Amino acid sequence: MIEPPPRPNPDALLAMAQREGRGRLKVFLGAAPGVGKTYEMLNEARRLRDGGTDVVVGLVETHGRQDTAAQIGALEVLPRRQITYRGRVLDEFDLDAALERRPQVLVLDELAHTNVPGSRHPKRWQDVEELRDAGVEVWTAMNVQHLESLSEDVARITGIRVQETVPDHVLAGADSVELIDIPPTELLERMRQGKVYQPEQAARALRGFFREGNLAALRQIALRRTAERVDADVTGYMRAKAITGPWPSADRVLALVGRDATAEEVVRQARRISDALHAPLMALHVEAMGAADGMSPSPALRLAEQLGAEVETTVARDLPTAVLNHARAHNATHLVIGRGQPSFWRRLTGRTLTAVLIGQARGFTLHLVPAPSSVTPCIRQEAAGLPHWAGWAAVPLLVAVTTGLSLWADGIVPEGGIGMIYLAAVVALAALFGPAAAAAGALLSFLIWDFLFLMPRFTFALSGIQEVMGGAIFFSVALLLAGTTGSLGRSVSMARARLFGMRRLVELSRKLSAATSTGDLLTTVAQEATMLADRPTCVLLPLDEEPVVRAARPVEAEPDAASMAAARWALSRGTRAGFGTDALPSADWQFRPMRTANGIVGLLGLQMAGVPTRDLDAERDRALDALIDQAAVALERSHLMEEHARSAARAETEALRSALLASIGHDLRTPLTSIRGALETLRISGRQLSGPVREDLLATAEEETVRLTRYLGNVIDIVRLESGQVKPRREPVDIGDAVAVAAERASRRTGRHITCDIEKRLPAPQIDPVLLEQVLANLLDNAAKFSEAGTEILIHAKRAGAEVAITVEDHGIGVPPDQIGQIFDPFFRVRRGDAAPAGSGLGLAICRGLTHAMGGWITAESPVSNGSGTRMTVHLPA
């Protein structure tokens, strides 16, 4: 069979396609300040410029080093942008100027630099990303201690925590990385000569950060990071070009995690090999189609994750081929596998995984890990979940039943037909109990069929070639059916279990999405976990770095003090703790962290001790892990939604506060100014003024005082409505009388003619008459304010189904259609230009609040006719 040629890896091709169209990034990486990164970067930039390339220096920090400053030479330097911060003028990189200039290569020093507040981006590496998106190639420099993933390691080595960091994906996304390296002794000599820092600063650095041991450790980290980067480049090239590995460019260790007793020892041995070789570690679990026996690989895979391995799980029919394809695709050079305990048939035919890999894994170093002496072989369980002895007990029972049926059919069906009855029994044994029980049933069925029904009867001898061929064909077909039906039965059982698991996950996802609050979400998670694990569970959330039980099923399930210590461990370390783990295994509960990209959002607790089934099988364990992952994402989404709601509430409160202050500042100043002006005029020139003038000034002061009192009353009313302090008094109200009284008072107050149209025999709704009068007064005042003097104001009252509708209509300027939905908002004023009357923006908001308090609602329509007019309708329950 001719194998098809290898195809390029789609992920590698996608990564190459994503880089096209973006500017390239070259990083000059050093172990510490003073190794010559900026010097070498400028030196190469000058050589590139001499070759005709457009090179511009965006920003370079020389730190007073004469040699570095001299390297700039004739290179074009962009002017810096000046930003004022806390009374000081600071120079920063001008991103807009660089984007406008768009050179072929831009030199931008100190990738980890934090920009001055007020810049477009908080970090310089974000400036670099925007430049690359615009197609500009960037050269930059950084020290290895500024990598985000190394901050803790650097702090432990040097005792100094680096504050400015660069995410690892920035360095991983660079097109090239050039290591600038000098020995620690040479760097220390440069420091003493004043070529790195000024003498006083250099003396302090030599006593702290710049010690030979620190520099040697940082140099090792820089060399290793650069080697990992080169290895990643080689692997990416091989995948993109469909080159089958491995290439001996760097060591990579692949641990093959199976379901046998050696799985965890394989992971530990692989970790020791990778540490000795300073090589990356990968862990692979291949689940064979139809395989249902053995232990769960979950503990070994969790151990691999804890040891820093890159874990991957796949499903394949051919185990050796899947292993070799994965190893070649990831350029692995060392394969670590356990000896295991293959079946006698596999050992006899040489089809064990070890034998196949030895024959086919050319170019790989194979490590065989023996099982620990303390580990005993596990007893296999059948796929159907029945006890192991049940299959062997069923073999003679089912063959006996089949024999009885065959004796009854003897003489009715031919000898071959009786053989088909026994074949049906073999198929049933294979489907229910697996191929081993089916093979035993096939042998027993053949012997009984031969003894009782084949000629000569009651003997195992066969009389002729026909009987011999029939018996041989029967036994061969029975064995074939035993093997294929048994595998098919296991595959069906596994598929059914996986389908059930997928349905549960889909149902769980639907329930989590339907949860309307964090409390409902946690309750759902606890219920599903209890049903899945068949044991009490609880969900804990961190509160001031302490785990607190927020939901439990059953409700009384709560971890004891010893178990809560395990919960604190799991929360602080982000790993499993408690029963059956390496941390506090004596606890009765086991805690599993709910982890997202932003950290640990909670814990799922399982009561393991004191329940009938202490351990979880592989399928339940995997389903629980999936449940935890989905719950973590849903919980983080709930937190984000709550934070968004709080932010929106804060923004709304701030907007209301700003509007209130602005309105008070405007609407209080105007009447107070008028009152003050009238009183000052009377005090200074009161005796010289005529009587009518004095009366007019006093009337003005009185009018503005009334206006001020009304405005303050509106403010108090809106505050009472917003705080829920308005409690209406319920009593029957005659709508006709209430409307007539409100119209008469408004007519006297505004001097406008108001026409009332009240339907006869209106019901008397149970409402507050004082609140109704205030609503009508505000509506009529609003109509008078926004309509011309001399025009008519109409007020209608009529029955509308189960409601009473009171309508106030004017023929004024109307409300623009785009603002009709906002006129009931507090402090909103219709934008109509300078000619429109001013208002506080509270009257209609108070009308809406009071109407809602009485159980009604209010609407607005505009224009009413000929592009003008406004109609306000109050709907009250009849």
Q: Are 806 and 757 in contact (CB under 8 A)?
A: no
- Please work out, in degrees rounded to the nearest 5, the angle formed at the alpha carbon of residue 812 by the alpha carbons of 808 and 818: 90
Q: Is 309 helix (H, G, I), strand (E, B) or coil?
A: coil
Higher pLDDT, 273 or 11: 273
Q: Are 270 and 336 in contact (CB under 8 A)?
A: yes
Nearest-10 crossing angle of helices 319-329, 353-360: 50
Checking if the pLDDT of 295 tops 90, the result is: no
Q: According to the model, what pLDDT value does residue 606 have?
A: 93
Three-class SS of residue 312? strand
Contact residues for 242 (Cβ-Cβ < 8 A; gap 6+):
5, 6, 7, 8, 9
DSSP assignment of 721-751 equals HHTT---PPPEE--HHHHHHHHHHHHHHHH-
Mean pLDDT of 742-756: 86
Name the band, by pLDDT with cuts 50, 70 and 90, for residue 104.
very high
pLDDT of residue 381: 39
Helices (H), 515-547: 518-533
Rounded mean pLDDT, 288-301: 59
SS3 of residue 589 by DSSP: strand
**507 burial type by CB count under 10 A (0-12 exposed, 13-18 middle, 19+ buried):** exposed
Residue 591 in this model has a pLDDT that exceeds 80? yes
What is the structure's pLDDT at 294?
Answer: 47
Percent above pLDDT 90 for the chain = 11
pLDDT surpassing 50 at residue 48: yes
Residue 144: name the closest of 27, 273, 317, 279 by CA.
Answer: 27
* Mean pLDDT (whole number) for 115-121: 84
Confidence at 564, pLDDT banded by 50, 70, 90: very high
Reading the block at residue 211, the tokens are 């010690």
Q: Rounded CA gap, 301 and 349, in Å?
A: 30
At residue 348, the pLDDT reads 55
Burial class from Cβ neighbours inside 10 Å (0-12, 13-18, 19+) for residue 656 reads: middle
pLDDT attached to residue 537: 93
Q: Where in 339-416 does DSSP place strands (E)? A: 365-369
Per-residue pLDDT at 371: 66
Given a cut of 70, whether residue 349 has pLDDT beyond it is no
Place 227 in a pLDDT band, splitting at 50, 70 and 90. Answer: confident
Output the pLDDT for position 383: 39
> Among all chains, which residue has been given the structure tokens 């596994």?
494
Q: What is the mean pLDDT of residues 40-55?
A: 90
Q: Tell me which of 171-180, 454-463, 715-724 is least confident.
A: 715-724
Kindly report, residue by residue over 73-84, the tens digit of the pLDDT. 888 999 988 888
The lowest-confidence range among 110-114, 331-335, 497-501, 847-851 is 497-501
Whether 114 and 100 have beta carbons less than 8 Å apart is answered as no
What tens digit of pLDDT does each residue of 691-739 get? Answer: 788 788 888 888 778 767 766 776 676 666 666 666 778 889 899 899 9
pLDDT at 55: 93
Partners of 607 in the beta sheet? 589
Which of the residue ranges 109-118, 359-368, 527-536 would you say has the lowest mean pLDDT? Answer: 359-368
Confidence class for position 825, pLDDT limits 50, 70, 90: confident
- Other Cβ atoms closer than 10 A to 722: 13
pTM exceeds 0.75, yes or no: no
Cα–chain-centroid distance for residue 521? 16
Cα distance between residue 588 and residue 754, in whole Å: 80
The answer to whether residues 62 and 68 touch, using CB atoms and an 8 Å cutoff, is yes
Quick one: pLDDT at residue 453? Answer: 74
The answer to whether the CB of 204 falls within 8 A of the CB of 301 is: no
Q: How many CB atoms lie within 10 A of CB 9?
A: 18
d(CA 352, CA 294): 16
Residue 820, pLDDT score: 81
pLDDT, tens digit, 9 for 90 and up, residues 536-560: 999 999 987 889 999 998 888 889 9
Q: Please, what are the domains in the chain?
A: 11-240 (3.40.50.300), 253-369 (3.40.50.620), 388-491 (no CATH), 534-572+586-725 (1.10.287.130), 728-877 (3.30.565.10)
Give the rounded distance of the alpha carbon of 189 from its chain centre: 49
pLDDT of residue 346: 58
Instruction: Inform me whether the pLDDT recorded for 857 exceeds 50.
Output: yes
